[in-house]
Chains A and B, each alone.
Chain A
Amino acid sequence: MAENGTNGHGYVGTRTIRPDGVDKVTGRARFGADFNLPGQLIGRVLRSPHPHARIVAIDTSKAEALPGVKAVITRDDFADQPSEFIPAGEMMMNYKDVVRNVLAREKALYEGHAVAAVAATSAAIARRALKLIDVTYEVLPHVIDVVEAMRPGAPLLHDDLFTAGVEPKPDKPSNIAKRVEITLGDVDAGFAKADVIVEREFKTAPVHQGYIEPHAALATVSEDGTAELWCCTQGHYIVRAHCARLLGLDIAKIRVTASEIGGGFGGKTVVYLEPLALALSRKAKRPVKMVMSREEVFKASGPTSGATVRVKMGATKDGKFVAGFAELKYQAGAFQGSPVQPGVMCAYAPYDMENVKVIGYDVVSNRPKVAAYRAPGAPISEFAVESVVDEIAKKLGLDPIELRMMNAAREGTKAAYGPKFGPIGLEETLNSIKKTEHWNTPLRKWQGRGVASGFWFNIGGETCVSLTVNEDGTVSLMAGTPDIGGLRASLAAVAADELGVEYDKVRPIIGDTGSLGFNFLTGGSRSAFSGSMAIVEAAKQIKADCCARACKLWDLKPEQVAWERGRVRPIGDAADKAKPMSIADFAKVAGKTGGPIVGYGRLNAQGAGPSLGTHLVDLEVDPETGRVTILRYTVAQDAGKALHPAYVEGQFQGGAVQGIGWALNEEYVYGDDGKLQNAGFLDYRMPVASDVPMIDAILVEVANPKHPYGVRGVGETPIVPPLGAIANAMENATGIRFTELPMSPPKVLKALREKGVTAK
Chain B
Amino acid sequence: MAKHHIETTVNGDAVEFLCETEETLLDVLRDTLHLTGSKEGCASGDCGACSVTLDGRLVCACLVLGCEVGGRRIETIEGMAEGEALHPLQTKFLEHAALQCGICTPGFLVASRALLERNPNPSETEIRYWLAGNLCRCTGYDKIVTAVKDAAVVMRKG
Contact = CB atoms under 8 A, between A and B. Distances in A.
Contacts of B35: 27
A261 B36 contact: no
A520 to B, nearest CB: 20
B100 A260 contact: no
Nearest to B76: A27
Interface in A94-110: none
A486 B105 CA distance: 14
A210 interface: yes
B39 A262 contact: yes
A690 interface: yes
A701 interface: no
Interface stretch (B1-9, B65-73, B130-138): B130-138
A417 interface: no
Interface centre among B49, B86, B129, B138, by most chain A C-beta atoms within 10 angstroms, is B138
Contact of B39 (A31, A688, A691, A695): A31
Given A485-B100, A689-B127, A689-B145, A653 B41 contact: no
Interface string A260-279: 11111100000000000000
B81 to A, nearest CB: 6
Interface in A688-715: 688-692, 694-695, 697
A656 B106 CA distance: 23
Contacts of A649: 97, 142-143
A17 B102 CA distance: 14
A486 B42 CA distance: 25
B25 interface: no
Interface string B93-135: 1111101111111100100000000000000110111011111
B140 A654 contact: yes
A241 interface: no
A290 to B, nearest CB: 14
A261 B101 contact: yes
Interface in B76-97: 76-78, 80-81, 86, 90, 93-97
A646 B138 contact: no
A294 B43 contact: yes
A33 interface: yes
Contacts of B38: 27
A212 B47 contact: yes
A484 B138 CA distance: 9
B81 A689 contact: no
Contacts of A265: 137
Given A262-B39, A689-B127, A31 B77 contact: no
B103 A692 contact: no
Nearest to B77: A27
Nearest to A262: B103
B15 to A, nearest CB: 16
Contacts of B136: 212, 689
Interface string B22-51: 100000001000011111111110110100
A505 interface: no
Contacts of B139: 650, 653-654, 657
Contacts of A214: 40-41
Contact of B95 (A17, A263, A687): A17
Interface in A440-488: 484-486
Given A31-B103, A212-B41, A650-B139, A690 B47 contact: no
Given A263-B101, A485-B100, A26 B90 contact: yes
B102 A24 contact: yes
Contacts of B106: 25, 27
Interface residues of B, number: 58
A399 interface: no
Contacts of A690: 125, 128-129, 131-132
A240 to B, nearest CB: 22
A33 B27 CA distance: 12
B138 A29 contact: no
B103 A22 contact: no
A689 B145 CA distance: 8
A686 B135 contact: yes
Is the contact region of chain A dominated by helix, strand, or loop, or is it mixed?
loop
Interface in A163-222: 209-214
Q: What's the dominant secondary structure at chain B's contact region? A: loop
B94 to A, nearest CB: 4
A488 to B, nearest CB: 11
A305 interface: no
Contacts of A25: 80, 86, 90, 93-94, 99, 105-106, 109
A212 B103 contact: yes
> 7 closest pairs, A vs B, by CB?
A27-B37, A262-B103, A657-B140, A653-B140, A24-B102, A681-B46, A485-B100
B36 A27 contact: yes
B144 interface: yes
Nearest to A122: B20
Contacts of A294: 41-44, 47
Given A30-B36, A214-B41, A689-B145, A486 B100 contact: yes
A211 B101 contact: yes
A457 to B, nearest CB: 22
Contacts of A213: 39, 41, 101, 103
Nearest to A16: B97
B140 A681 contact: no
A296 to B, nearest CB: 11
A213 B47 CA distance: 10
B141 interface: yes
A28 B100 CA distance: 15
Given A24-B105, A694-B124, 7 more contacts: A20-B102, A260-B103, A649-B142, A682-B44, A688-B133, A692-B140, A695-B142
A687 B142 CA distance: 12
B41 A657 contact: no
A690 B131 CA distance: 8
11 contacts: A25-B99, A27-B76, A212-B104, A262-B103, A647-B100, A650-B143, A653-B142, A654-B139, A654-B140, A689-B128, A694-B145
A431 to B, nearest CB: 23
Contact of A21 (B37, B43, B99, B145): B99
B36 A34 contact: yes
A341 interface: no
Interface string A645-670: 01101100111111000000000000
A680 B46 contact: yes
Nearest to A27: B37
A15 interface: yes
A18 interface: yes
A348 to B, nearest CB: 28
Contacts of B146: 694
